[in-house]
Amino acid sequence: MTQPFTPAVEQMEDTHYGITVCHIGEDGDMLALGHHSPRRALAAFNRHARVFVGVMNLEDSRGARIADWLGCIQERWAVFSSPDPSEGDDPDWLWAVDYSVAADTPGAVPIMLLQP
């Protein structure tokens, strides 16, 4: 494993309301750097869905409700590293992330995770 690091803003997709965010995976999951209140993180994720993806909101529905999405947001710790093709990582990725680590893991940084 390469030396852990925190992605630079340029290595993420965008910053909304002071929160740097990006999509991860192919299921609509998003990641935000830092720990924030769930409502503030939701606002950043929702704005990212509008600006980056071009949908009305995370649900792409006028009937979307905040309460339905707050439970999809988790405060976690993550370790970012350079992609490792021997681990199945795509060598074109800017970074790989393990977001199931403990706070005291060397190189761990705070994140907010959206998993719809």
Summary mean pLDDT of the chain: 92
Distance of alpha carbon 9 from alpha carbon 16, whole angstroms: 11
Distance of alpha carbon 6 from alpha carbon 26, whole angstroms: 22
Residue with tokens 């390469």: 2
Distance of alpha carbon 97 from alpha carbon 84, whole angstroms: 11
% of the chain exceeding 90 in pLDDT: 69
Distance of alpha carbon 72 from alpha carbon 5, whole angstroms: 26
User: Which residue type, as a one-letter code, is found at position 27?
Assistant: D
Three-state secondary-structure class, residue 50? helix
Average pLDDT for 45-57? 93
% of the chain exceeding 70 in pLDDT: 98
- Answer whether 63's CB lies under 8 Å from 70's CB: no
What is residue 1's predicted lDDT score, i.e. its pLDDT?
Answer: 55
Three-state secondary-structure class, residue 21? strand
* Residue 59 pLDDT level (bands cut at 50, 70, 90): confident
Average pLDDT for 16-26? 94
* Residue 57 pLDDT level (bands cut at 50, 70, 90): confident
The larger pLDDT score, comparing residue 61 to residue 104, is at 104
Average pLDDT for 65-78? 94
Q: Which residues contact 37 (CB under 8 A, 6 or more apart)?
A: none
